[in-house]
Structure 1
Amino acid sequence: MTKNLYHCTALCTIAGALAAATPAVAQEAGAAAAPQEGLAEIVVTAQKRSENIQSVPIAVTAVTGAAVENLKAVDLKGLQGTIPNLQINNFTNTPNSAVFTIRGIGVIEPDPFAGNTVSIVQDGVPQYFSMGALLDLFDVDRIEVLRGPQGTLFGANTTGGVVNVVTRQPTGQFGVRGEVTYGNWNRMDIKAAVDVPLVDGVLAGKVSAMHTQRDGFYTNIVDGTDMGRRNVTVLRAYLKYTPTNDVDVTLGGEYGRTRNGAPVIVNGSTGPGYAIYAPAGTMTTDQVLPMYASPCASDAAPCRAPDKYYSARDFGPDKSDMDNYRGTLTINVRNTPLGDLTAITGYKQFKLEEFTDNDAIVGLGIDTYRGTRGWQFSQELRTAADLTDAVKLQAGGFFMKTHYDHFNSVRLEAFAPGLRQNLPQDQDNWSGSLFAQTYIDVTDQLRVQAGVRYTHENTRMIAGTDNYYNASGIGLYCTHEGSCGDTLLGGFRASGSQSWDNVGWKLGIDYKATPDTLLYASWARGFKSGGFVGRVARPQDLGPYDPEKVDTFEAGVKTDLLDRHLRFNLAGFYTNYRDMQVAQNYILPDGKTIGTSIFNAAKAEIKGFELEATALPVEGLTLTGSLAYLDAKYKKFDFLDPTGVIIDLSGRALQNSPKWSASAGATYEVAVGSGKARANVLYTYTDTKLLQGLQGQPLVRIQPTHFLNANLGWSPEDGRWTLEVWARNLADKHYIEAVTNNAGLFNQVSYTSPREYGVTFKFNI
């Protein structure tokens, strides 16, 4: 209690000093507006129509493109800590798979079979796969983060919320924007965007490109090289056709090429009681540096990141390669007898191939090859119509079909030299839904809304396990399903197909108390789809598991005060979370193999609040911040321990659910010489949390984090170019990012990024 009181006192003091909170990045557009005119209006499409964010009766935060550039973030993970009750993480051994959690609702599983509870949407197209969902952030117009169930307008698997990314569209006017960054760790970013009017007022084109690369933060004790390098290139192209004022058609395409280093894992085993462990200082003829000290000193205490990051990789190529292809066709036809029509067609395919030294010690251990190929096709057709002056309607349909093949080949040298295990997955899924949402103006100030969505979904899964043995005693890594030259010891295939029907809805009311103050309340029911388990050690583990359901009650206030010099938003919520899909592990009789299955085994209760604000106290100065509280606990959960013992986890915290989080920032602009200088500072705080661990053992608890980012730049009076210096994690704090406890085998650990700094030159023609 004392600890929590301290956290509250410290955070409330910060928030109060800043006139409460909104993320420092969220209101960048306001910072650019002249202070005497007040905060600028921010337009969002959180309800699939353009509205002032202060008129939207849901908890939504908008991050502008300028704010994204301020963060020097290369992908969505760079937003971590800046949005209330949003957590963005990676898995220890699969950095290309995103972990998004909003208000304690998220999926802690890297493989695609587990689905999502936070939908990542790019230009109107939901991203079905968590692999590749950490979208690269360049040439972004804005990012909208919607908290709470959004199933009525955005469909299934949005029980946590939606991250809606809107890229900059063609303008129809010639223009060139560019940016070059050089930083430590040999970071080099090159970004450019060119707008071209092809036929004046009718046809516009745009091409944008980004390349980013840097060295890795870790040192390999095997040969002294760096580990975890990054190398990403993204190309986008658009054509926008506007034959009349009422019709526009936009065709967009994107190619993303990732050639990163292999995933980096640190061995966190605490002693010889673990099957895979090497004492600090151990040297062999196969390494140039001694074995590093484990960041985990004891199973009874949290792990701690060292001053310098070490790991070991002596398996397979140093690569994590991914290719993404996206295509989007958006058609808008306004003022038809059926209202304003919108059709969005989306297609995406990807290929991922990576090698991981899972044990992170020198010598025989556990090594993995992962290869995944997937594609998705989606079609949405909707209308927005004014039925009367007081009644507005949005209605439509949505269809999505997906497929993926996933192949996992694991060398188990630590347990039996020459032993290899293949884990193939093959899944097809399709879903179709119909939705409608109405907005009724009861009076000029009072509005009610009601929405409903019906969804039908079908999933087919084939998964299994094959065990192979190589008589030479050295297991092969295999990049395709089959023997790869070794002997099949046995295996199985399991298959299943299942359909589900679900109905979600939303009821809400909002009241315009003054022209600048909105009060609102709502009840939303959302669901996450059912499915099958893809990584199975026994046929019966396949499932299926059923959908989980969420009811969220939310109330809030949005207001602009002091002639729009203070923006203040507050939301409170209560969530009843039931039939939770929970992965439960167990150890097979061989004492080494961990089996996994997913059960609808738990209920939870989640409550909290989010406070956001922006203040313009004096000319040139913008103060921002956020404060969020989250109480997310299991209400009922009989957990099956890997040893076979059932443990009651009622009252324990949900994964990835820090009790407190906050941000505080300031931006100051002042005339200097013949131009303008601009300084920005942002502090973020995240309380202790669990990530990859259900029981809450001290070992897997992630420590509280404090990060400080800063920018200082200057541009001439015409604003055609800017030169700035910047730093992320200015104080060079070293933290644990994730810990996975593989009972009795070994612990896997990863670290947050150390300090990054550099210089950026921007230009605009």
Structure 2
Amino acid sequence: GAYYADREMDNVSGSLYPAGLFHPLYGFIPGPVPDYTTSTLSDEDTALYWQSSYTIESGLTLTGGLRYQNSDRSINRSNSSNSVNSSDDWDDVLPKLGASYSLSETDTLYASVAKGFQSGGFNFYGGSPESAQYDSAESWNYELGWSSSWNDGRVHTRVAAFYSDFENYQVYRLNPMNPTEAYMVNAEEATSYGVELEAEAQASETITLSAAVGLVNAEFDSYTDNVLRGVLGPMAAGYEFGGNDINFVPEYTANLAAHIQLPWNLSMQWEVQGIGTYWLDEANTAEQDAYALVNGRISYMRDNWELFAYWRNLTDEGYSNNALDLRYTDYSNPAAPRPAGMILHIPGWPRTFGVGLSASF
């Protein structure tokens, strides 16, 4: 197969600075002074891919795949103090190998290894060359699992273990020097591993139940934020994050769901999501406690049209999507307590309701 995508994104951000007779920069200028940053990012992606499987009579199936991807990125950004005009491209060859073995008509063992790739790119924000560009990320991903069906195929279960080894892992973070900005930066090395368990049961002709649990450990093996190192110089020892847990990766996830088929082409789904404790920053100073979200959806289908209504976070659970530790840091001794300042939290979505219309062709 083949894949092609072309995208262009425009962004304008900035502030109005008050002016006046005694303003150190804008004195004698009547009215507020605007300082805007305008940016245009252009992305172009092309890929060629192939995958095929071969089944041996003994019940062994071998799968092989190969993907070539090329990504072109460019940025044109300017403001009152500087400008960045740059372009770059990244490409990679991504192999995949897999095998599955049928122990019986209901039980299958499988294993796979695959290479992953995320293109590099440019940030909307950040005036320095260090913060403008980030590199592509690569990973090797390994999985071993067992799937089974029970009760005449009405119950399906799966258990799997996985391990991933990352190079130039991409981290999206807020800028401590300006909390209104965010940028992408690379962590040199990272690893993650864990297990997943899933089950689905046809409880009746109209009700399907499902459950899933995932346990994961994810860690930065080597990570220096070179954007902040470039700003702070030798003091940037406080931005060595090797050995810390990867932020935004919960220690566990859980899901319970029920899908109910109703008369008159109606259906309803209820879902409870459980999210374990996770860190909101690479320094592992701002922590989000475990929480649960109740979501749901009701839909009406007719031919290839669907009209639906949904609700998310029905109990209006409070949680944070991101955070930035703004407490005072002694960069000569980063491990010292930081009593002054605050931790800035960006809240997650509150209770939300919506409607939608979709069509498939």
TM-score, structure 1 length as denominator?
0.37
Match of 1:436 among 44, 47, 50: 50
Residue 124 (structure 2) aligns with: 534
The gaps in structure 2 that reach 5 residues or longer are: 27-31, 300-308, 328-340, 356-361
State how far apart, in whole Å, the 1-side matches of 2:268 and 2:179 are: 54
State how far apart, in whole Å, the 2-side matches of 1:461 and 1:625 are: 44
Tell me the CA shift for residue 498 of structure 1. 1.8
Q: Which moved more, 1:619-628 or 1:738-747?
A: 738-747
Match of 1:500 among 64, 75, 90: 90
Match of 1:422 among 9, 25, 36: 36
Letter in 2 for 1:624: S
Residue 652 (structure 1) aligns with: 244
Cα distance change on mapping 1:442 and 1:707 into 2, 3 Å? same
Tell whether the 8 Å contact from 1:576 to 1:605 is kept in structure 2 after alignment: yes
Residue 338 (structure 2) aligns with: none
Residue 570 (structure 1) aligns with: 159
State how far apart, in whole Å, the 2-side matches of 1:619 and 1:587 are: 55
Residue 284 (structure 2) aligns with: 696
Residue 6 (structure 2) aligns with: 401
Cα distance change on mapping 1:531 and 1:751 into 2, 3 Å? closer
Instruction: Give the alignment of 1:364-379 within 5 angstroms.
Output: none
Counterpart secondary structure, 1:646: helix
Higher relative contact order (CA 8 A, sep 6+): 1
Match of 2:253 among 661, 668, 673: 661
Counterpart secondary structure, 1:535: coil
Residue 737 (structure 1) aligns with: 320
Query: Is 1:752 matched with 2:327?
Result: no
Tell me the CA shift for residue 633 of structure 1. 1.3
State how far apart, in whole Å, the 2-side matches of 1:736 and 1:541 are: 29
Tell whether the 8 Å contact from 1:493 to 1:539 is kept in structure 2 after alignment: no
Residue 335 (structure 2) aligns with: none
State how far apart, in whole Å, the 2-side matches of 1:584 and 1:683 are: 28
State how far apart, in whole Å, the 2-side matches of 1:401 and 1:678 are: 37
- Residue by residue over 1:416-436, the C-alpha shift from the partner in whole angstroms, topping out at 9 and shown as x without a partner, is 993532111123332333222
Residue 464 (structure 1) aligns with: 78
- Residue by residue over 1:12-34, the C-alpha shift from the partner in whole angstroms, topping out at 9 and shown as x without a partner, is xxxxxxxxxxxxxxxxxxxxxxx
Instruction: Give the alignment of 1:68-467 within 5 angstroms.
Output: 382=1, 397-411=2-16, 418-443=32-57, 445-466=59-80
Cα distance change on mapping 1:465 and 1:554 into 2, 3 Å? same
- Residue by residue over 1:541-597, the C-alpha shift from the partner in whole angstroms, topping out at 9 and shown as x without a partner, is 333x32110110011222211111211122221000111234577777xxx798876
Tell whether the 8 Å contact from 2:285 to 2:325 is kept in structure 1 after alignment: no
State how far apart, in whole Å, the 2-side matches of 1:504 and 1:757 are: 39
TM-score, structure 2 length as denominator?
0.73
Q: CA RMSD in A?
A: 3.9
Match of 1:550 among 95, 118, 139: 139
Tell whether the 8 Å contact from 2:186 to 2:225 is kept in structure 1 after alignment: no
Letter in 1 for 2:75: M
Tell whether the 8 Å contact from 2:293 to 2:317 is kept in structure 1 after alignment: no
Tell whether the 8 Å contact from 1:639 to 1:646 is kept in structure 2 after alignment: no
- Residue by residue over 1:327-374, the C-alpha shift from the partner in whole angstroms, topping out at 9 and shown as x without a partner, is xxxxxxxxxxxxxxxxxxxxxxxxxxxxxxxxxxxxxxxxxxxxxxxx
Tell whether the 8 Å contact from 1:584 to 1:639 is kept in structure 2 after alignment: no
Tell whether the 8 Å contact from 1:572 to 1:610 is kept in structure 2 after alignment: yes
Residue-pair matches, total: 318
Query: Is 1:601 matched with 2:181?
Result: no
State how far apart, in whole Å, the 2-side matches of 1:619 and 1:583 are: 45
Residue 43 (structure 1) aligns with: none
State how far apart, in whole Å, the 2-side matches of 1:530 and 1:751 are: 27
State how far apart, in whole Å, the 2-side matches of 1:420 and 1:550 are: 43
State how far apart, in whole Å, the 1-side matches of 2:195 and 2:322 are: 28
Query: Is 1:613 matched with 2:199?
Result: yes
State how far apart, in whole Å, the 2-side matches of 1:542 and 1:524 are: 30
Counterpart secondary structure, 2:3: strand
Counterpart secondary structure, 1:558: strand
Residue 623 (structure 1) aligns with: 209
Cα distance change on mapping 1:454 and 1:757 into 2, 3 Å? closer
Tell me the CA shift for residue 529 of structure 1. 0.9
Tell me the CA shift for residue 503 of structure 1. 1.0
Counterpart secondary structure, 2:127: coil
Tell me the CA shift for residue 460 of structure 1. 2.1
Counterpart secondary structure, 2:114: strand
Structure with greater strand share of residues: 2
State how far apart, in whole Å, the 2-side matches of 1:579 and 1:593 are: 24
Residue 511 (structure 1) aligns with: 101
Tell whether the 8 Å contact from 1:729 to 1:756 is kept in structure 2 after alignment: no
Instruction: Give the alignment of 1:483-494 within 5 angstroms.
Output: 491-494=81-84
Tell whether the 8 Å contact from 2:311 to 2:351 is kept in structure 1 after alignment: no
The gaps in structure 1 that reach 5 residues or longer are: 1-381, 383-396, 467-490, 714-724, 759-765
State how far apart, in whole Å, the 2-side matches of 1:657 and 1:572 are: 17
- Residue by residue over 1:278-303, the C-alpha shift from the partner in whole angstroms, topping out at 9 and shown as x without a partner, is xxxxxxxxxxxxxxxxxxxxxxxxxx
Tell me the CA shift for residue 506 of structure 1. 0.4
State how far apart, in whole Å, the 2-side matches of 1:540 and 1:739 are: 23
Tell whether the 8 Å contact from 1:464 to 1:539 is kept in structure 2 after alignment: no
- Residue by residue over 1:316-336, the C-alpha shift from the partner in whole angstroms, topping out at 9 and shown as x without a partner, is xxxxxxxxxxxxxxxxxxxxx
State how far apart, in whole Å, the 2-side matches of 1:447 and 1:685 are: 35
- Residue by residue over 1:154-207, the C-alpha shift from the partner in whole angstroms, topping out at 9 and shown as x without a partner, is xxxxxxxxxxxxxxxxxxxxxxxxxxxxxxxxxxxxxxxxxxxxxxxxxxxxxx
Residue 115 (structure 2) aligns with: 525
Letter in 1 for 2:51: Q
Residue 185 (structure 1) aligns with: none
Tell me the CA shift for residue 711 of structure 1. 8.3
Cα distance change on mapping 1:537 and 1:628 into 2, 3 Å? same
State how far apart, in whole Å, the 1-side matches of 2:114 and 2:352 are: 41
Cα distance change on mapping 1:584 and 1:563 into 2, 3 Å? closer
Counterpart secondary structure, 2:131: helix
Tell whether the 8 Å contact from 2:179 to 2:324 is kept in structure 1 after alignment: no
